[in-house]
Each structure stands twice: as structure tokens, then as C-alpha cells.
């Protein structure tokens, strides 16, 4: 893949950058600006080289038309604060507002186009419709830089099709992501441990199947663990359960046993009568989950066992929280995993936090991001990379 260095002289050139600014909002307040911060090095580099930096990104899931609730206005404001310079927000995605904003740019300026998903062509399954939007984007630029790792697993106009129309390069963020994930998947130093959490087994079927051929141990927590416990014959009360995946999980457990892959499951669970921050928490053994209670975190014994399983690993990948970390009473398991990974990193292990909710948990719970080898900006993209899938937004950049 070509890098920014391969684009040559950038002064005065319009450079379209696909970033990932899909940040969480509370009204118009950004609650986690991690993805904006991650985009800064590439934007700063292009601006410092005299490029006219035209950034396109999405926020949320608008229905293919303008929706004020999903405007990138808060992002433009925060991006400008972090850059220390004004960022112009175009009034539309590729229309007259975008064209006027780009035409007025001077070298080093940064313009943010309005939410690209306000245009239904961005996510269209019709190649011609996406190509039409790519034409409009290409008309605003002289070169394209792909720097939104969180969307490279999507075949979308601003991710895939526009790269076919302009001289293109991989941005620093995406390049770093690929290097880190490649190190963890192609030639990991062993023992290689993978910690999987989050709500649903069905979201991670492919990655579990692939990791059973690569990892030395899988640590399973989060809501998905209850399908594993049910597969072992335990009653899980009112916990999240995907009954239609129980047989699949039984197959995973058998395959792991055959291949010598260690599956680490919790021995205790923190339960509560309701999904609420103030719901009274109780620790129970996995074989004693009350019928009228739901599991919301792995228990303290499980957290200690997970930490021990991470401690001697040389490569650790973590994707998905261990419980409802947003509620303090149910954050213990996630905290334990994060702390164990930091200690493993200090001991020389290569550690990856696989984006999405895991990265948000690290920041929300107050951990130093520098304590991990790499924190991914793309939950879904990192999962698909771990699954061994081809990512369209990466494939299109190949020379």
C-alpha cells in the first residue's frame, strides 16, 4: 500500500481524508473523543505539509438524509479545539455548501464535510449509486487518504469507491492498526490469549472459530458467557442467552478440547434482579444463579483467574467488556482485565484493546491508554480482521 509519502508534494493540493468520527454523544456533548484524538496525527501532518485537508466522516445511523441529531457540528468544534485552529463545517456532504467551503480553502486549512451518511448513496448496495457519490467526493479533491479504521470493513462510497478514482494512500492511523493486528494474528508470541466479552455470541461466531486455530487460550466473559454456561448445562436465570447458539457453542468447546486450546470461563457471577445501576448486586457461583436474577459481570474469583491467565501471556487481545462497566457495581471484571493487561504490557507482552466498548471502558474507567501496546479505534473492523476476513477498505488500497 502507498503511504502519504508516496503522494508527493502536497502544498496546495486538496486531500480528502476518510476519518472515523462516530463518537458517542449525550445530546450535543461528546462523551468520548478518543476517535477524534486518534485522527489528529494524520490531519496535522497533511495540514503542516500545506495540504488543503477535506475530511469526510459519519456519525450514527441517519436514514440517508439530513438529520440535525447526527450533525458533525460537535465534532467540528472538538476537532478545532484539539488542532488549535478553526475547522470549517460544510453545510452539506458534497453539495454547494461543500464545494464553496473547499473552494475557499488556503493551504493548511481543514474543512469537515457534513455527515456522509446524510447521503443515501454512501451505504447503497448498488455499485453505480456508490460510484456516483464517489464522483462527487473526488471532484472535491486531488488525492485520497484512508484513515478511518472503524469503517474499513465496509464497502461504502467514502471508504472504497472513492479510492478507485483518486491517487490514494493509507493514513497513519490505519497503517498502525494493520501493523498491530497483523502482529497479533500472523506470528503472535506465545502464549497467545484472547479475551472476548460483549453481549452476544452471534456477533463473534467467526472470530471464535478462527481463533480456535490460532490462540492458546480464550477467556470468555460479558453477556455472551451465559450461552457458554448454558452449553455446559448450567441454568443462567434471566441472564442474556442466545438459546439458538447453544449447540454451536458446544461444538466450540469440543473443538477447543481437541486442539488443546484452553477455554477459561468464570466460576462466579455478579447477579442482580434488574438491569439498573442501583440494582442490588450479589456474587453467586455459576451453578447457583437464581432463576429471577441476571448476570451483569463476572465475579471476583473469575476476575482473579482471568488476570492470572493474562499474566503469563506474551500476546493478549481483548475485545468486549466483561460486564456492564457503565454501572460501578458491575465494572469489577472489566477493571481486572484492563489492569492485568497493563501489568502484562509492563512485563513485555504485546497487548491490544480491540476498539469499540473495550476502548471506551479503558477511558471511562480511568486507565492510562499508554499502558497498552495498542488501542484499536475499530471494534467491528478489528473483529473482522481477527476473523481473517478481507476488509474492502484495505483491499482497495493495495498497489
**Do the Cβ atoms of 286 and 234 come closer than 8 Å?**
yes
* 357 assigned binding-site residue: yes
Q: CA triplet 101, 106, 109: central angle to 5 degrees? A: 75
Q: Is 37 annotated as a binding residue?
A: no
60 labelled ligand-binding: yes
In degrees rounded to 5, what are phi and psi of residue 74?
A: -65, -35
Please give the backbone phi and psi of residue 293, each rounded to the nearest 5 degrees, phi first. -125, 155
Alpha-carbon gap, residue 218 to 195, rounded angstroms: 6
> 113 and 98 in contact (C-beta within 8 Å)?
yes
Burial (CB < 10 A; 0-12, 13-18, 19+), residue 106, is exposed
Residue 219 — φ and ψ, nearest 5°?
-105, 120
User: Using CA atoms, how far apart are residues 77 and 156, in angstroms rounded to an integer?
Assistant: 26
Give the residue from 333, 381, 327, 391 showing the smallest Cα distance to 354: 381
Q: Is 355 annotated as a binding residue?
A: yes
Q: Do the Cβ atoms of 207 and 196 come closer than 8 Å?
A: yes
* 64 annotated as belonging to a binding site for a ligand: no
Q: Is 155 annotated as a binding residue?
A: no
Do 199 and 224 touch, CB atoms closer than 8 A?
yes
- Angle subtended at Cα 125 by Cα 124 and Cα 130, rounded to the nearest 5 degrees: 50
Query: Is 356 assigned a ligand-binding role in the annotation?
Result: yes
Say if residue 259 carries a ligand binding annotation: no
State yes or no: 121 annotated in a binding site.
no
Binding residue per annotation — 59? yes
Is 22 known to sit in a ligand binding site? Answer: yes
Q: Is 154 annotated as a binding residue?
A: yes
Go through the chain and tell me how many residues it has: 399
**Positions marked active-site:** 35, 200, 356, 380
- Is 320 assigned a ligand-binding role in the annotation? no
- Residues at the binding site for (2R)-3-phosphoglycerate are 35, 117, 154
Annotated binding site for substrate: 20-22, 35, 58-61, 117, 154
Q: Which residues are annotated as a binding site?
A: 20-22, 35, 58-61, 117, 154, 204, 295, 326, 355-358
Annotated binding-site positions for ATP = 204, 295, 326, 355-358
Amino acid at each position: 500500500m502507498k503511504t502519504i509519502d508516496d503522494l508527493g508534494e502536497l502544498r496546495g493540493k486538496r486531500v480528502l481524508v476518510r476519518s472515523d468520527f462516530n463518537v458517542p454523544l449525550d445530546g450535543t456533548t461528546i462523551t468520548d473523543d478518543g476517535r477524534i484524538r486518534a485522527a489528529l496525527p494524520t490531519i496535522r501532518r497533511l495540514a503542516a505539509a500545506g495540504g488543503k485537508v477535506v475530511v469526510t466522516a459519519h456519525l450514527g445511523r441517519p436514514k440517508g438524509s439530513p438529520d440535525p441529531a447526527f450533525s458533525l457540528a460537535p465534532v467540528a468544534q472538538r476537532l478545532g479545539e484539539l488542532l488549535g485552529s478553526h475547522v470549517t463545517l460544510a453545510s452539506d456532504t458534497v453539495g454547494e455548501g461543500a464545494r464553496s467551503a473547499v473552494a475557499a480553502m488556503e493551504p493548511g486549512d481543514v474543512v469537515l464535510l457534513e455527515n456522509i451518511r446524510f447521503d443515501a448513496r454512501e451505504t447503497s448496495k448498488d455499485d453505480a449509486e456508490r460510484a456516483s457519490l464517489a464522483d462527487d467526493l473526488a471532484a472535491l479533491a486531488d488525492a485520497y487518504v484512508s484513515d478511518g479504521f472503524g469503517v474499513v470493513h465496509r464497502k461504502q462510497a467514502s471508504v472504497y469507491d472513492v479510492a478507485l478514482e483518486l491517487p490514494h494512500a493509507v493514513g497513519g492511523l490505519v497503517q498502525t492498526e494493520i501493523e498491530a493486528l497483523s502482529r497479533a494474528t500472523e506470528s503472535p508470541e506465545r502464549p497467545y490469549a484472547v479475551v472476548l466479552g460483549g453481549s452476544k455470541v452471534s456477533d463473534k461466531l467467526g472470530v471464535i472459530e478462527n481463533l480456535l486455530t490460532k490462540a492458546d487460550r480464550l477467556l470468555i466473559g460479558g453477556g455472551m458467557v451465559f450461552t457458554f454456561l448454558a452449553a455446559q448445562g448450567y441454568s443462567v436465570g434471566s441472564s442474556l442467552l442466545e438459546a439458538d447458539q447453544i449447540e454451536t457453542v458446544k461444538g466450540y468447546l469440543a473443538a477447543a478440547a481437541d486442539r488443546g486450546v484452553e477455554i477459561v470461563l468464570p466460576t462466579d457471577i455478579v447477579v442482580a434482579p434488574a438491569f439498573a445501576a442501583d440494582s442490588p448486586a450479589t456474587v453467586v457461583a455459576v451453578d447457583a444463579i437464581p432463576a429471577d436474577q441476571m448476570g451483569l459481570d463476572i465475579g471476583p474469583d473469575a476476575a482473579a483467574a482471568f488476570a492470572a491467565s493474562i499474566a503469563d501471556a506474551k500476546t493478549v487481545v481483548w475485545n468486549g467488556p466483561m460486564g456492564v462497566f457503565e454501572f460501578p457495581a458491575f465494572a469489577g471484571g472489566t477493571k481486572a482485565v484492563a489492569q492485568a493487561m497493563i501489568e502484562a504490557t509492563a512485563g513485555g507482552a504485546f497487548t491490544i484493546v480491540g476498539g469499540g466498548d473495550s476502548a471506551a471502558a479503558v477511558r471511562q474507567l480511568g486507565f492510562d491508554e499508554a499502558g497498552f501496546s495498542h488501542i484499536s479505534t475499530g471494534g467491528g473492523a478489528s473483529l473482522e480482521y481477527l476473523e481473517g476476513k478481507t476488509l474492502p477498505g484495505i483491499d482497495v488500497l493495495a498497489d
